Copies of this chain bind each other. A is one copy, B any other.
Amino acid sequence: MSSTEIVNQTTSSEALNSPFVQELVRQIRAQDSYGFYRSWSDELILKPYIVSKQAKRQISVEGDVEPATKGRIMSFYRAIAAQIEQKTGLLSQVVIDLSHEGFGWVLVFSGRLLLVTRTLRDAQRFGFDSLEKLADEGNKLTQKGIELAEKYTEVAKL
């Protein structure tokens, strides 16, 4: 095993155990009404979120976004909403507006305040290079949302 691989593994395990990724796992398991994932490891459950650049190119952006992909996007942003909720006590909602061509918006909000605003493009290819990238993106959006909620609490409570 090369030293690079060891480094990657360490970082990957840190990412896996980060609060955001653990929240994402909880969100996915919470949707699992039939216990389909019960015996699956966290890594296995998260696997569909890791899509290499090469793999992305092979996913067609023609036609509708598949329900499974839409579900993955939803869980990702619900995990952000849940993290913001835990830190600020503000209830928040996730709204996804996806056109049939994979373009659209994701919004997370509390009261009248938008905590996350993202445009989606080629949502059929939603995914991250690595677990670290997934964790970084989730943490970044969560932090930004918390900052906004703390700065504009009045608007978030409307």
Query: A residues touching B (Cβ–Cβ < 8 Å)?
Result: 93, 95-97, 105, 107, 109, 111-114, 117, 148, 152, 155, 158
* Given A107-B107, A152-B152, 6 more pairs with CB closer than 8 A: A93-B105, A95-B107, A109-B114, A112-B113, A114-B114, A155-B155
* 25 A-B residue pairings within 8 Å (CB atoms): A93-B105, A95-B95, A95-B97, A95-B105, A95-B107, A96-B97, A97-B97, A107-B107, A107-B109, A109-B114, A109-B117, A111-B114, A112-B113, A112-B114, A112-B117, A112-B148, A112-B152, A113-B113, A113-B114, A113-B155, A114-B114, A148-B158, A152-B152, A152-B155, A155-B155
